Structure 1
Amino acid sequence: MRQGPMVVVLAAGSGVRFAGGRGERGHKLEQAFGRSTVLDTTLSNAIQSRLPVLVVTTETLYAQVTATIAARDVVVLPAAGGEDSGGLLGMGYSIAAGVTARSNASGWLVLPGDMPLVQPATLRAVAAAMPHHPVVYAQHRGRRGHPVAFGAELYSELARLSGDEGARRLVARYPAHGVEVPDGGVLLDVDTEQDLQRMRALYPAPAGAAAVG
């Protein structure tokens, strides 16, 4: 029996563009943001959507993730570049790991862990459109963003993803529907320290993230 759609938060990347990865500043997902961190804020928004949440991460961030998410809802991958990774890690590999861990879902909303401004209402809006389209994505002022959601009919192709390509080819191959939202956070991720500073300026109060626009 299939369950409803679920949010798959991707938190297994090395973050190499942020101060050289895990340098003196640490991983980008561990950086302070509001009252917590970048990743904690992303997870909090995902939980507030009231959709089931699964997190794909590495041992490095496991303790941080399981402070918020139950261990049964966490998939741990080898660290990127580690001896156990086999050179396979990347966004595509993470998506496949999350999808196969919840193969009975009716669909999967893929949300990068470095997007702490994506609002719960946005996740719900994308999920609401999923029964009618194989691929759904959030967009703001006509610009495509995240999350990107995939219906259960694409399971076999999602499960075969690997490397860094992610699911771009699936978005290109199948009819994709954009859900217009007033949430500019769908376009903003933390790639560099400059990105982080800009996003902190858009975060108006430590009580919670607000839509940007």
Structure 2
Amino acid sequence: MGRPKLGLELAPGEPLGIQPLRALLGCAEVGEVACVVRRLGETEGLYGRLLASLAGIDDSRLRVMECADAGGGMSRSLRCGVEALEASDCPPDAIVVVLGDQPFVTSGVLTKLIDGWHRAGCPDYFASSPSDEGEAQPPALFGKTMFPALRGQSGDKGARQLFRSPEWIGGVMTIADRSIFADADTEEDLQTLRRMWRTKRGR
């Protein structure tokens, strides 16, 4: 998009980046939540509003952390989050990755994702797709066997190349509701998300 987007408003008073976080915190199966942001301490503008909204969330599971080199691509933010969770007092057996610009991800979807991973025998990863033949994508769950690979990613591809690698065994859950995968890669995408948000809320 060419500019920090998670502080952009999905609707008045609703930063784009807050919705996926609410989905994670609303999922009882999720433990500690690492919310990676580009910078902390800002008080002005839309990004300041995002940080203020994060500060207003009363949930001991939430950790908001700065990733100084987040501008280097999605992989940098992913590495920051993985390293923080690995260093916690109770390191996880798996992590769920939700993109900050996917506002229609729900707690129910994340619960099904975690349940699907367990039912599949806890493979290296368990991801989502809008169709049976579609490509694996977030929201996705990664077992601890993949933590080193996640830390070693570079650029803005995130985990996509890992899904394609024969080195890892994974599963994919089909989600019929394509709005779950809607994101804001462009200004046009953002406008589409805003229209979808109004439609879903009947206004």
Q: TM-score range by the shorter chain?
A: 0.7 to 0.9
1:41-97 deviations in whole A, cap 9, x for unaligned? 22222222232321111225544433336696122111555xxxxxxx321121111
Q: Percent identity?
A: 24
Greater CA drift, 58-67 or 116-125: 58-67
- Equivalent position to 2:158, from 145, 166, 173: 166
Aligned residues of 2:36 and 2:64 also touching (Cα < 8 A) = yes
159 and 190 in structure 1: CA distance in 2 versus 1, 3 angstrom threshold: same
Greater CA drift, 195-204 or 57-66: 57-66
Unaligned runs of 5+ in 1: 1-16, 22-26, 82-88, 208-213
Match runs of 1:1-213 below 5 Å: 17=1, 20-21=2-3, 27-34=4-11, 36-50=14-28, 51-52=30-31, 53-59=33-39, 60=42, 61=47, 62-68=51-57, 73-78=63-68, 80=70, 89-103=72-86, 104-131=91-118, 132=121, 133-142=123-132, 143-144=134-135, 145-173=137-165, 174-203=168-197, 204-206=199-201
Amino acid aligned to 1:42? P
190 and 128 in structure 1: CA distance in 2 versus 1, 3 angstrom threshold: same
Which whole-Å CA distance do the structure 1 matches of 2:170 and 2:63 have between them? Answer: 28
Aligned residues of 2:114 and 2:141 also touching (Cα < 8 A) = yes
135 and 71 in structure 1: CA distance in 2 versus 1, 3 angstrom threshold: closer
Amino acid aligned to 1:92? S
1:117-164 deviations in whole A, cap 9, x for unaligned? 111111111111223221111122333442122111112222223332
**Which runs of at least 4 in structure 1 moved beyond 6 Å after TM superposition?**
none
200 and 30 in structure 1: CA distance in 2 versus 1, 3 angstrom threshold: same
Which whole-Å CA distance do the structure 2 matches of 1:32 and 1:78 have between them? Answer: 23
Amino acid aligned to 1:109? V
Partner SS state of residue 113, structure 2: helix
Which whole-Å CA distance do the structure 1 matches of 2:125 and 2:146 have between them? Answer: 9
Which whole-Å CA distance do the structure 2 matches of 1:72 and 1:119 have between them? Answer: 17
Which whole-Å CA distance do the structure 1 matches of 2:78 and 2:70 have between them? Answer: 14
Which whole-Å CA distance do the structure 2 matches of 1:178 and 1:45 have between them? Answer: 20
Amino acid aligned to 1:120? S
When the two chains are superposed, the root-mean-square deviation of aligned CA atoms in Å is: 2.4
Aligned residues: 177
Unaligned runs of 5+ in 2: none
Which whole-Å CA distance do the structure 1 matches of 2:201 and 2:104 have between them? Answer: 12
Partner SS state of residue 28, structure 1: coil
Which whole-Å CA distance do the structure 2 matches of 1:73 and 1:158 have between them? Answer: 19
**Normalised by the size of structure 1, how large is the TM-score?**
0.72
